[in-house]
A = this chain, B = another copy of it.
Amino acid sequence: MPSERTVERLSLYRHLLSRALTEGAAHVHSHQLAGMAGATAAQVRHDVMSIGYSGTPTQGYEVEKLIESIGEFLDTPLSRNIALMGVGNLGRAILSDFAVRRPTLKIVAAFDVEPDRVNRVIHGCRCHSLEELQQIIWTQQIAIAIIAVPASEAQPIADTLCEAGICGMLNFAPVRLQVPQGVFVDDVNITIALEKVSYFAGRKALDRGRIG
Contacts and interface: CB of A to CB of B under 8 A. Distances in A.
Interface of A: 1, 4, 7-8, 11-12, 15, 36-38, 74-78, 80, 82, 88-90, 92-98, 102, 104-105, 143-144, 146, 165, 167-170, 174, 176, 182-186, 188-208, 210-212
A175 to B, nearest CB: 10
A191 B78 contact: no
Identical chains bound together, number = 2
Contacts of A89: 89, 92-93, 95-97
A198 B80 contact: yes
Given A76-B202, A182-B205, A8 B196 contact: yes
B200 A4 contact: yes
A5 to B, nearest CB: 10
A88 B97 contact: yes
B201 A183 contact: yes
A179 to B, nearest CB: 10
Contact of A191 (B15, B74, B93, B176): B15
Given A168-B201, A188-B190, A88 B78 contact: no
A192 B104 CA distance: 12
B105 A194 contact: yes
A11 B192 contact: yes
Given A76-B198, A89-B92, A90-B97, A193 B188 contact: yes
A76 B210 CA distance: 13
6 contacts: A11-B195, A12-B192, A89-B96, A143-B205, A182-B207, A182-B210
Nearest to A190: B98
Nearest to A211: B77
A51 to B, nearest CB: 12
A113 to B, nearest CB: 16
Nearest to A166: B201
Contacts of A212: 77
